[in-house]
Structure 1
Amino acid sequence: MPASPRRATLATVAASAGVSVATVSKVLNGRSDVAPATRSLVESLLREHDYMAPSPRRGPGANGAVAMCTVEVQFDSDLSAYSTEIVQGVVSAGAELGVGVVVSVRKTVDHPASWARDLVAAGRRALVAVTCEQLNDRQLRALSRVQLPLVVIDPLNLQHDQVTSIGSTNFAGGLAATQHLLSLGHRRIAYIGGPATATCNQARLHGYRAAMEAEGVPVPPGYTRFGRFRYQDGMDHGAAVLDLPEPPTAIFAGCDEVALGVMEAARARGLRVPEDLSIVGFDDTQIARMTSPPLTTVRQPLREMGGVALRTALRLADGEKIDSHHVELATELIVRASTADVACAEHA
């Protein structure tokens, strides 16, 4: 994150107002024993200096217990099965550490400075942001100014090398998913992913292409499509590739939710999974086990990612140095019943 400017202190404001630090403290605490004119002057200077009280620190409480602190987990889109897994991981780690977790959805940040100040004023020790579309310079500077540590989980885009992030081995996952389909004899394999510019989507796509190229299998035009990591996108793009003159016999979807949309597109065309079409997802959320048939997918250790993000955020809040600004946890292919030998699709 960008270097933070020196934050104004009570002494700074007191010197500007020509009053004591105690008087400024009384104004901040709403005490009544301050003259109206003095109160007005101090409040004006607090705003002018953009003063923000330091964020609360963990410390010994009653009987030596660790005082509760809170970390905010913020999403920039509606919650999904993927989000639930992340939240579960953060909450479980928070329970182990005696840390409170607040979950919020904020789709836009119109006033970064106010947003950052409000987080600190609410007592947040750190911010964990999930699948952020982007974190612009104004937002990063605002967090830095109030000295609020940030950890991003599975970022769609990372503009700054110094932003701490937790992800998974997306390339290896894409490679494993495609190799699995190739091992079943499929050669007409399509990829339906998320946003084209998203870092995680690009890595999964590169894994898919690497596997195809290693087998000398060409990727026909129209076999790679991008949208959002949403069910409706899976339906729409699934329909598009299945309506091609030479449709695929297998589809690798960039997430489980997209895979479910592809399944529905196949069902609407009278296609059976896996007899007529094999499908692989990505994430291994609960819905992967609830589909009919159960979904073959690449497991992202989402709960573990949430736990690592929380622990990393607390280390940053305590002023510790971390070994790496980006950590990737291993993915794993989970084979279930949505994939089958290509002979099923070609001779059904």
Structure 2
Amino acid sequence: MAGKRAQRTTGTQGPEGAAKVTISEIAREAGVSVPTVSRVVNGRSDVSPGTRARVEDLLHRHGYRRRPGAPGARAALLDLVFNDLDSPWAVEIIRGVEEVAHEQGMGTVVSAIHDRAGAARQWMTNLRARASDGVILVTSMLEPGPGLHDELRRLGVPLVVIDPAGSPATEVFTVGATNWAGGMAATEHLLGLGHRRIGFIAGPPRLLCSRARLDGYRAALDVGGAPVDDELIVPGDFYHESGFTGTNRLLDLDEPPTAIFAASDQMALGAIEALRQRGLRVPEDMSIVGFDDLPEVRWSSPPLTTVRQPLSDMGKLAARAVLDLARSVEPASPRVELSTELVIRASTTNPRRV
């Protein structure tokens, strides 16, 4: 773990009885965040030389001396906030963030809001108490609007968002994947196999990534000269049950699809189970494509064709970005999208000829 952290709000009396100066005041004068000053005070190495020199000069001029370590002083922490944690998808994000935090000698606090009344307010109360060095929000209903962003800025805590649910404030750094391109690649793959009626099980419409995958699906059909049939597009929520339900809905159509593109791997696995219960085989009777490339889908029966998004890398990038912001290093761009990749396995083939 990292060394002890200086108190955020109090210093010691300066030379010749001068008034106390606080870390917050030093940070304001230096034009950096409170965590950055705290790192300098604690002798941490993760501060740029120029920033360190500026802060140390102010500390010296104001006669700041670190107060003796108080019992229970906290180690450096990153806050990682999800809406839900009941998905292997979340585990991959956590894996990436934790790797960077471990490299930096930091701890990671993982929270889930679960859309519960008062949960966001309680999380903010807890955040103030543990004096986090940075916050990463992941497709959370706790959206980085003016209220949240202003409060985090007041606390000197930088913010990064992975897969924003809506359009975040322009000053918020975001990390995502090329969801539109991934949706197009999955659909083009099925079209290339000869499928013309391709069902689509959508994700939650409130999420930008869901809408981008649907738009990619529609674009591929349009480019490929296949009709966009709205009855082939069914709602889902990224979880197994909605994939199961959506597949049954597609199979009950007068003219069912010959292939299904599910906007998440979990929904794709739900689709495979729905087909199994109806005595249909994958891919002989129905081709299936997912999205995410979770570790488990390599071992599904059959192994799943899917669009890989680099979830762990997204977590790493977000963690490094929030630490850079804490050191007053601004990102080159406020938006970063990592590339997706189509991974072809055994769940897709040419449509069966009747």
TM-score (norm 1): 0.79
- 1:80 is matched by which residue type in structure 2? S
Where does structure 2 lack aligned partners over 5 or more consecutive residues?
A: 1-7, 12-17, 23-32, 47-73
Tell me the equivalent position of 2:139: 131
My pick for the range that moved more, 67-76 or 303-312, is: 67-76
Q: Is the 8 A contact 1:294 1:336 kept in 2?
A: yes
Tell me the equivalent position of 1:44: none
- Structure 1 position 65, deviation (Å): 6.4
Where does structure 1 lack aligned partners over 5 or more consecutive residues?
A: 1-7, 12-19, 26-52
Tell me the equivalent position of 1:210: 219
Tell me the equivalent position of 1:150: 159
My pick for the range that moved more, 207-216 or 90-99, is: 90-99
Residues 74-94 of structure 1 show CA distances to partners (whole Å, capped at 9, x for unaligned) of: 111133110111111111122
Q: Does 1:120 align with 2:101?
A: no
Question: 1 CA distance for matches of 2:179 and 2:275?
Answer: 26
Tell me the equivalent position of 2:66: none
Q: Is the 8 A contact 1:113 1:142 kept in 2?
A: no
Secondary structure of the 2:216 match is helix
Question: 1 CA distance for matches of 2:141 and 2:10?
Answer: 37
Question: 1 CA distance for matches of 2:258 and 2:305?
Answer: 15
Correspondence for 2:235 among 216, 226, 229: 226
My pick for the range that moved more, 213-222 or 141-150, is: 141-150
- 1:318 is matched by which residue type in structure 2? R
Change (3 A) 1:120 1:134: closer
Correspondence for 1:140 among 124, 149, 157: 149
Residues 288-340 of structure 1 show CA distances to partners (whole Å, capped at 9, x for unaligned) of: 11211010000001111000000000011111211211100000000001101
Secondary structure of the 2:91 match is helix
Q: Is the 8 A contact 2:187 2:217 kept in 1?
A: yes
Q: Is the 8 A contact 2:188 2:224 kept in 1?
A: no
CA RMSD of superposed structures (Å): 2.7
My pick for the range that moved more, 119-128 or 53-62, is: 53-62
Correspondence for 1:93 among 92, 96, 100: 100
- Structure 1 position 259, deviation (Å): 0.5
Aligned residues: 301
Q: Is the 8 A contact 1:125 1:317 kept in 2?
A: yes
Question: 2 CA distance for matches of 1:133 and 1:111?
Answer: 11
Change (3 A) 1:109 1:327: farther
Correspondence for 1:182 among 191, 194, 205: 191
* Correspondences of 1:153-302 after superposition (within 5 Å): 153-302=162-311
